[in-house]
Amino acid sequence: MDNYKAPIRDLQFNIFELFGYDRHYQDLPGYGDVNAEIINAILNEFDKFCSNILSPLNAVGDQEGCQWHDGEVTTPGGFREAYQQYVEGGWPALAHDPAYGGQGLPESLSLILAEMRGTANWAWGMYPGLSHGAVNTLKHHGTDSQKSHYLSKLVEGSWTGTMCLTEAHCGTDLGLLRTKAEPNADGSYSVTGTKIFISSGEHDLTENIVHIVLARLPDAPVGVKGISLFIIPKFDVLEDGSLGDRNGVRCGSIEHKMGIHGNATCVMNFDNAKAYLLGEPNQGLQAMFTFMNTARIGTAMQGIGHMELGYQKSLAYAKDRLQMRSVTGPKNPDGPADPIIVHPDVRRMLLTQKALLEGGRMMLCYTGKFVDVIDHAADPEQRKAAEDMLSFMTPIAKAFLTETGFESANLALQCFGGHGYIQEWGVEQNVRDARIAMIYEGTTGIQALDFIGRKVLGSGGELLKNFTREVHQFCKAHADDEAMQEFVIPLQALNKKWGDLTLHIGTKAMENADEAGAASVDYLMFSGYACLAYFWARAVATAQAAIAGGSSEAEFYEAKLATARFYFQRILPRTNVCEQGILSGADNLMSLSEAAF
């Protein structure tokens, strides 16, 4: 199969036409020079790296995997050379602070490139992807000394970072963690414990790896209030910035996994490892959320990546594979059969992928703008509004896009029939690689609990109202546009139902706390489908305006209209099932005794 090619035209539609990134950048301090010409040049240049260098290594990484020997990990053939090219091209530094060697470009643009990188080769892309979270955490919580010691090397990519949370006995419930940190006379700490499932924990791509680790101080309170955050480099960093002795941290083994074989998922043993407190004592979980929230947006991007890769492969196959004749007459009369894209069910699978993919990409492009505002807007009220919206959107994006990403990857495999189940087409790898995204950085269930509990009910519904108010204003603005009514009318009704369901859950939860948990996943998925309905309606308005203006790309815009119509008529009704699940209550989940299972 052909290598991945970045969907440049669809990215441009989102960046320039739908969300006005170029105008958005003009409104933020320091971004005035970031114009359409620069953005397009970056997209096209990075596409060359992704399609020519990373994409051919995707199958290599899956088949070779990482190799562990005596605590050292060797990445698959070509990974190290690709990483060197990535660093030489300046790509790791793109969206980071120039004070530490970054190029100072917007974070929203970096997220677009992360989609391209991840779609081409998700396992490879995790190595630099985790460094991005480490940089953000150090930038927000590190001392000046820590920033000077670590940030420039992480920004340029000569070092990478990890996030070390999970232990064998505690995953989501971090209050149970046992890793200990003992203070040393010189102000450092000695950390002892074992962490599991550490992505990129050990590898041969860089000279140093900076681990961001949760541990407990000796006098720490029990539970999550007694967790501190530490920097533990693989090699200690001396005062002049050079590398010192090997630290007391070793990779005990690597996991044998269902997918993402090209990324080393490690058991990391800390044995009196020299560590440095990051942030305030016993405030580590709050600081770690800086890293985790970056990772959650990145994982949402993973869902898009698997949708895009599956869609590209299955679309090409459906146009090429000849099977049977169309029931309405031959469409390929000179051939022995018609291409399978003529058959309605194949089109259902392709259009489902296309609608979820392009709608999901809109969701992340929309969300990315808030990251820019938080980082750079001068107005504190504008930053607070962006923080609220990002807080609201993050659990939806992470959970909804990884769930629909896995669905889409499976539909792509189904388009291939039996050929999809064998290795050489790459679609079965895509399914395996996609499955982890619904688990790590907080499972779908955890995201749903956070969403309904903390973000919606916990804010008294205010975070939800911020979004539904925007949807309402859009519907009001297009109330008299007859061509928009097939989209505006159902969107307006859905927006009202969203509020009604929220009130229902909140009222029931006051009587029985299990009601919120019982409704949570259905509620989050309902919210995801509702968000995509809004973004697709916006896309329709943009496409209709382009067609009315005599665009030379009428076929591109007509495809947007047709896909939006498919979404509203074929996918959006899934919200009815979500609604029925919510209204059915907690009893059908909780009444059965444990012994009866």
pLDDT in tens, 407-421: 999 999 999 999 999
For residue 161, how many other CB atoms are within 10 A of its CB? 29
DSSP-derived 3-state class of residue 241: coil
Residue 275 in any domain: the answer is no
Domain span at 523: 443-589
* Of 293, 302, 24, the residue nearest 140 (C-alpha): 293
Question: How far separated are the first and last CA of the chain, in Å rounded?
Answer: 46
For residue 63, how many other CB atoms are within 10 A of its CB? 13
Residue 147 in any domain: the answer is no
pLDDT of residue 490: 98
pLDDT of residue 291: 66
Mean pLDDT, residues 249-273: 98
Q: What is the mean pLDDT of the chain?
A: 96
pLDDT above 80: residue 295 = no
Percentage, residues of the chain above pLDDT 70: 100
Q: For the ranges 22-31, 187-196, 310-319, which has the lowest average pLDDT? A: 22-31
Residue 471 in any domain: the answer is yes
Encode pLDDT of 98-152 as tens digits. 999 999 999 999 999 999 999 999 999 999 999 988 999 999 999 999 999 999 9
Mean pLDDT, residues 549-563: 98
Residue 491 in any domain: the answer is yes
Residue 400 in any domain: the answer is no
Encode pLDDT of 159-173 as tens digits. 999 999 999 988 777
Please state the domain count of the chain: 1
pLDDT of residue 537: 98
The sign one gets for the Cα dihedral 319, 323, 325, 327 is negative
Question: Taking a C-beta distance cutoff of 8 angstroms, is the pair 126, 115 a contact?
Answer: no
Structure tokens at 25: 């950048």
Residue 69 in any domain: the answer is no
Asked if 358 is an active-site residue, the reply is: no
- In this prediction, residue 175 has a pLDDT band, given cuts at 50, 70 and 90, of confident
Encode pLDDT of 439-491 as tens digits. 998 999 999 999 999 999 999 999 999 999 999 999 999 999 999 999 999 99
Residue 173 in any domain: the answer is no
Options 441, 462, 470, 482, the catalytic residue: 441
pLDDT of residue 288: 78
pLDDT of residue 13: 98
Instruction: Return the H-helix or E-strand segment holding 119.
Output: helix 107-120
State which amino acid sits at residue 291.
Answer: F
Calpha distance 340→338 (Å, rounded) = 6
pLDDT above 90: residue 176 = no
Residue 209 in any domain: the answer is no
Mean pLDDT, residues 171-188: 90
Encode pLDDT of 361-406 as tens digits. 999 999 999 999 998 999 999 999 999 999 999 999 999 999 999 9
